[in-house]
A and B are shown apart, each in its own frame.
Chain A
Amino acid sequence: EPEVTQTPSHQVTQMGQEVILRCVPISNHLYFYWYRQILGQKVEFLVSFYNNEISEKSEIFDDQFSVERPDGSNFTLKIRSTKLEDSAMYFCASSPRASVPIGYTFGSGTRLTVV
């Protein structure tokens, strides 16, 4: 079964450092997303990406965050200057056409720990 892969599975970084989280969505999917989940809390929407541009972003997705699809397969989330409160599990997801009301496929996540 096709899957979304994320690397690394766990990243520890010092406050103020830049991190790049990587994702390989399912190959024939068109829409890509980043979500985050702070430990013990709900899954929160960060950003959606389609046709090489952001289609929506949340209030969490401020100027410190950016996304990129540098080639035909990878989808990255960059945090420019990490803060302690950025510590969370970050999930990448992809979906096919918007008209298809099936679920996203989520990756296994990257646990980001900012120290």
Chain B
Amino acid sequence: GQSLEQPSEVTAVEGAIVQINCTYQTSGFYGLSWYQQHDGGAPTFLSYNGLDGLEETGRFSSFLSRSDSYGYLLLQELQMKDSASYFCAVRDILTGGGNKLTFGTGTQLKVEL
């Protein structure tokens, strides 16, 4: 089976930097993704790490250490609109075709003034 653990809630102030951690235990692993979800809306793709190291996309960066089964999402210059739930997701490639994403428990980020 697969399990991914994240902190349930993180609070930070506008302009700050916040890190959301994700640890995983999986039977198959082809990369770690991060998704943002506002108020039960559609999850939207933020970032993907297939190999160890840091990936940067604007204010968001994501890191992966496969040996530690660990990754994190780093959000810089926080804005109020960043208040949302953030999910890590492990990608597995299906023998029948396609990718399967298994999502973590989610972290509710609250950005305060």
On A, residues with C-beta under 8 Å from B are: 30-31, 33, 37, 39, 42-45, 48-51, 53-56, 89, 91, 95, 98, 101-109, 111
Contact = CB atoms under 8 A, between A and B. Distances in A.
Interface residues of B, number: 31
B40 A101 contact: no
A48 B42 contact: no
A56 B101 contact: no
30 contacts: A30-B98, A31-B99, A33-B98, A42-B87, A42-B105, A43-B35, A43-B37, A43-B43, A43-B87, A43-B89, A43-B103, A45-B100, A48-B98, A48-B99, A48-B100, A49-B98, A50-B98, A55-B96, A56-B94, A56-B100, A89-B40, A95-B98, A102-B45, A103-B33, A103-B35, A103-B45, A104-B45, A105-B45, A108-B42, A109-B41
Interface in B83-113: 87, 89, 91, 93-106
A101 B43 CA distance: 17
Contacts of A31: 97-99
Looking at B41, B45, B97, which has the most chain A CB atoms within 10 Å of its CB? B97
B48 interface: yes
Contacts, number: 83
A44 to B, nearest CB: 7
A55 B97 contact: yes
Nearest to A111: B40
Contacts of B99: 31, 48, 95, 98, 104
Interface of B: 30-31, 33, 35, 37, 40-46, 48, 50, 87, 89, 91, 93-106
Nearest to A32: B98
B93 A98 contact: yes
